[in-house]
Structure 1
């Protein structure tokens, strides 16, 4: 069973927040060279789900695939330390500024080249949060997809061959979707807390195979991806509006309650 996890190199919100919420270059793209990158937290859950499937079967090979700048190799190394067997790094200067459509095209081409039975993605990257790439990739490949799954497992005993079952829960209902492979699934943080890699796994990750592919390897013209070909370019950026200062209500309970009631009334909250 060939299992592929799509992972993304994103700015580290914790490290970069004190200095800058976002650094933009002159072309209105995020200047990632000014930020500290890491594996998207949502994709850590995708790797964890892949590992849980692998523990139930003996024939699973896990490949982590990322599209990003040269420093995105750190994200692949992290995915390998979390349990992936090998990595694929798609890197090309022409990819700079690619939107979701271009990204899905490149990832679909990479998946078609390396082959897959099941593709697992995080529900959304922590930088853009669009949640559309998994469905776009599935559409380009012509395979079924299930988005926002809270659990995934393979069912090798299905009469028509290998089938994966994806579960979604909304608090009131539980839905199970039986989907024939090959397929694409995006998972939420309910699939299980990602494990912390052991020191030995971190060391061994540096020895695992990582293949590097360019647009030429994927037979995609450079002028059909990147910022110039983007269908959704950024025209302007503005800082997020500052939050109103919090109101601290202290003192005697009756006086504090009266003050809070006045505040809520003045701001038409009650």
Structure 2
């Protein structure tokens, strides 16, 4: 069944203000993310991207507004959402003193994967992400690129329907970046919806089908990448980004 025309995540008038702040981190954000899309949430530092992903993953609550998840047109419950989504944060989210195999066993058990399925998923991910030869070494001894691949494997051990990625290739070598993006493209083609943030504009331009540009907590542009480039007379995503967000420093 072709589900690409169906809404997967409906974000409506979402606002977020932290208790310590006098300003909204997100203000009236409304977006539709479609089934099987690769959707880029892009913007300068402090624009609100990580806040929005944290809300979508259920890590922090909205101040106002609503987020609704759907599967084949039917809404998810909050309990279903936890089992159906995967999250790969920018920070490393594993145990440095454990091996990749031990980390995957631990996190797979948290998702209540049956033993045989967990073993199959674990060995598959170790192989396709190039971690097989280092599967029994402590992750703390790994290079940055290898740690990123462990981070990814943990986020998808339970085969989520929707995968959230916050800067999944930051600080890695070209080979690791290519391997990560290539595998993400494969699981997207198999039906996984991907929501992605990055500061690598060339990577995002190659990877994403649709994007939303966020600045100062507001959506300033959203839609098909090629359509937005044509609309704003931009030769590349980087040009589009600079044209809409400006060139001043963002710290």
Normalising by the residue count of structure 2, what TM-score does the alignment of the two structures yield? 0.28
Q: Which has the higher contact order (CA 8 A, sep 6+)?
A: 2
- Bigger radius of gyration, 1 or 2? 1
Normalising by the residue count of structure 1, what TM-score does the alignment of the two structures yield? 0.27
